[in-house]
Structure 1
């Protein structure tokens, strides 16, 4: 046998998909692990033709699960963002969409036993330390993917997965406002640099000469905008204390515009080198928090909620996503938890094969 077989479950989580592994079935060394994931996904080719990636950043994501030794959590969730066209793996961020599938995958793997009609699973996001409670539908003690929940960017209906995120403020940089400011000006563009679930640099679409209602395809074709945005993102990363982020997918970048379809505010989210076709769950929490915070770049674009919890409806490139935010304004804005509803579905299972020259399984 010239290849190493690795058990996996292939799942859609929210508006992303990828392989879900037991952490114990993969190498401990992160450099070797990165090589394994690059091979499994087929990173380094636009079609990921030699792996199971789908040729887009939302389809080259990896979840690795294990029973947690944390006294609060049931499951540890370790995330990896694998690049599409470069042989790179980023272990810094987490992904809330892929997290949508962690509860069901943990049950599928036998790491969690279903309880009653709904199973509550406490998940620790290893990359950031965030605590997430997932409520998974298990009628009669059996996992189901059938249901009536719909999310923008995914066809059909599925069983809802309710997610409640805690401990997400400063999860990557240690601060709600990593630069210490509600606004910074970088290369002539006003930004709010914020770290809630995902470190982000957020600006107004109009400051780039955009409406904020462009499709993902229209934005991806605007290379002049992407070049300007990337230069600003890299400088913002330095200001946020994240060092050289030119090879990292964080901080992410986001744009605001006034809502035009009955939502709270219109948003566009970048991964960062392509436009997200929908909206990241982690990014949604950060952008919702920014929208709620007085003094940020969202000023003048919405009518802010004053009572907690607040339902923030973000209009993204494919529809809407609702974020329920528990917050306080007593001593400046502070967030205690954010909740969302996602869906997930098991697509396949079996083994992924990587060359033994990449990893021999030891």
Structure 2
């Protein structure tokens, strides 16, 4: 009797993240068994993920499940999962924009869409947010290009530029661009600290607060924040309160039940700062400085969906984020964000609804992706076939 079942997988770097990309039809149909298989692939739960493909980092413990779509407006269906490192949990609440950047090239190379040179447009239906993403994938000789001249901060070297257009991404999880109906809300922490925050849902929901409200500058680097347990606890408390306000989980259970969503972002006005690798970022090159968290630790760069939400919040007049934008920045569609690894630009456009309220029409960002390897992952037979 065989000991293992083989599952084919492809490892991609997508933007500043990395994950295993799996074909939906190669996985068990029953969700619970499928999740057990994915946890086995990553070696979770285990702080080192030593028995699987996870890299013991939230940015490399991500999964993409992809298959042909039956929708007329999409070529492929794509489900994102944030695989917990230390718990037997996969968070499917929101999407990951960085991992999304590998979906188009994967679809081209796996023959899920017809390759068209020089650009193949791949219409992706993200099942997490129930939104469409259109990826513009450079193609040559029937395959997605890896090599190119486009550079993104947080990734060595250059690659082929992939343009991601997140269409109608407002209300991605909650159904509303402003989930509470307010541009600003007041929250109170357990120690009595009162904060003014904004909750916005664009590509993913996020809660925003001014860095100065917690005595921060906004230019902190990951090591400084991640080595401060009391600060991490306060930031997670804010995120947990927001999770409850969004109806995702009671605040006491948010870390366990919805650890990845909502995103949380603290920000400050544009200022000069040094990146994690010592490079200088000048205040004239950015519109704001922002930091976000990934699974209760500071992100080493910036989540793309979190960046879309941040840029959207910055363009929504009346939010706490919009208040730091210069007049010039508020009048153009591009938002330039400074993060620990460098900068990230977003193109944000709105349209007016019948009642005159803003509706997010398009959010675009440029990324790169690289197909690193493909092969078979061995899953213990008792995990893949628990009832046999």
Do the two structures share a fold, i.e. TM-score over 0.5? yes
TM-superposition CA deviations, 1:190-229 (whole Å, max 9, x none): 1101100011111111001100000011111121111112
- State the distance in 1 between where 2:47 and 2:128 align: 27
**Partner residue in 1 for 2:219:** 213
TM-score normalised by L of structure 2: 0.90
- 8 Å contact 1:120–1:135 — kept in the other structure? yes
Say if 2:360 is the partner of 1:335: yes
**Partner residue in 2 for 1:252:** 263
Q: Secondary structure at the match of 2:59?
A: helix
Moved over 6 A (4+): none
- State the distance in 1 between where 2:81 and 2:157 align: 27
**Partner residue in 2 for 1:65:** 66
Shift of 1:299: 4.1
TM-superposition CA deviations, 1:283-333 (whole Å, max 9, x none): 11100011111111124322154546x110110111011101112478344
Q: Secondary structure at the match of 2:383?
A: coil
TM-superposition CA deviations, 1:256-282 (whole Å, max 9, x none): 111122201110011241111111111
- State the distance in 2 between where 1:272 and 1:259 align: 26
Q: Secondary structure at the match of 1:238?
A: helix
- State the distance in 2 between where 1:154 and 1:135 align: 20
Q: Secondary structure at the match of 1:6?
A: strand
**Partner residue in 1 for 2:286:** 263
Alignment partner of 2:326 out of 300, 303, 310:
303
- State the distance in 1 between where 2:129 and 2:351 align: 23
- 8 Å contact 1:129–1:167 — kept in the other structure? no
TM-score normalised by L of structure 1: 0.96
Shift of 1:142: 3.5
- 8 Å contact 2:153–2:341 — kept in the other structure? yes
- State the distance in 2 between where 1:123 and 1:300 align: 34
Alignment of 1:267-346 (within 5 A): 267-304=290-327, 305-307=329-331, 310-328=333-351, 331-346=356-371
- State the distance in 2 between where 1:78 and 1:5 align: 21
Q: Secondary structure at the match of 1:246?
A: helix
**Partner residue in 1 for 2:382:** 357
**Partner residue in 1 for 2:372:** 347
Gaps of 5+ in 1: none
**Partner residue in 2 for 1:157:** 158
- State the distance in 1 between where 2:266 and 2:72 align: 38
Count of equivalent residues? 361
